[in-house]
Amino acid sequence: GGARRLAGKHILVTAGPTHEPIDPVRYIANRSSGRQGFAIAGALARLGARVTLISGPVTLATPAGVTRIDVETARQMADAVDAALPADAAVMVAAVGDWHAEATAQKRKKGETPPVIELFENPDILALLARGPHRPGLVVGFAAETEQVIEHATAKRTRKGADWIVANDVSGDVMGGEANTVHLVTADGVEHWERLPKAEVARRLAERIADAL
């Protein structure tokens, strides 16, 4: 296809983990590196899209031509997504923490007994976006699964109101690794992609998004 197929389109990408503080010096996080999301943001920008990349804490360089907004927590990511709308498409790659704690103002002290930390549900950014009033025309989610990958991803597509789910088999060394095995779940069915470098998954997905927009 043409080089600038996404010219004039605004696309939101979320990427990376979230950090959920439990006190001023500690947090709950996950093993997401942000690599797949950053690669997707870069691939979309190379097709000419205006890309807003909302990223949790990662150690990656911002891809060329991408506007990056750094956040720490899921609630900050939700607010940043809202603030970045409207968009023609959204690709939600972030490994958003499912829970947050009530962060204490002072460092938690070691004592007789370890603290019991109560967890509260985080907003589901993808579901809120897909069901919200400013829904982008194309909403793409990711589903990292270690088993029954297709079944879980198919259920997730309907439950969250996404158009596509990129089902990600993370039973191997995907988290932080260079390659990825994904299946694209749409209303029309499931496409199985071979194991590919994350950059190639990104390039193919960007082309598919350009086809759809």
The residues carrying an active-site annotation are 30
| Cβ 19 to ligand C5P shortest distance, Å | 14
- In the chain, DSSP finds a helix count (H) and a strand count (E) of 5, 14
Task: Name which position in 142, 154, 169, 210 contacts ligand C5P (CB under 6 A).
Answer: 142
Residue 141 as a binder of ligand C5P (CB under 6 A): the answer is yes
Which residues sit opposite 100 in a β-bridge?
120
Task: Name which position in 14, 33, 55, 180 contacts ligand C5P (CB under 6 A).
Answer: 14
| Cβ 186 to ligand C5P shortest distance, Å | 15
Cα 99 to Cα 77: distance, rounded to the nearest angstrom: 13
Q: Cβ(40)–Cβ(202) under 8 Å?
A: yes
Task: Name which position in 20, 88, 124, 169 contacts ligand C5P (CB under 6 A).
Answer: 124
Helix (H) or strand (E) holding 104: none
Cα 82 to Cα 171: distance, rounded to the nearest angstrom: 32
Q: Is 123 annotated as a binding residue?
A: yes
Stretch that binds ligand C5P, among 64-72, 108-116, 122-130, 176-184 (CB under 6 A): 122-130
| Cβ 165 to ligand C5P shortest distance, Å | 7
Nearer to ligand C5P, 107 or 131 (CB): 131
| Cβ 13 to ligand C5P shortest distance, Å | 10
Token pair in block for residue 166: 């990129």
Residue 168 as a binder of ligand C5P (CB under 6 A): the answer is no
168-200 b/e (C-beta count within 10 Å ≥ 16 → b): bbbeeebbeeeebbbbbbbeeeeeebeebebbb
Residue 56 as a binder of ligand C5P (CB under 6 A): the answer is no
How far out from the chain centre does Cα 31 lie? Answer: 13
Task: Name which position in 143, 174, 182, 209 contacts ligand C5P (CB under 6 A).
Answer: 143
Cα 52 to Cα 172: distance, rounded to the nearest angstrom: 30
Cα 197 to Cα 184: distance, rounded to the nearest angstrom: 16
Residue 122 as a binder of ligand C5P (CB under 6 A): the answer is yes
Binding residues for CTP: 98, 107, 123-126, 142, 156, 160
- Write out the residues near ligand C5P by the rule CB under 6 A: 14, 74, 92-94, 96, 122-126, 141-143, 156
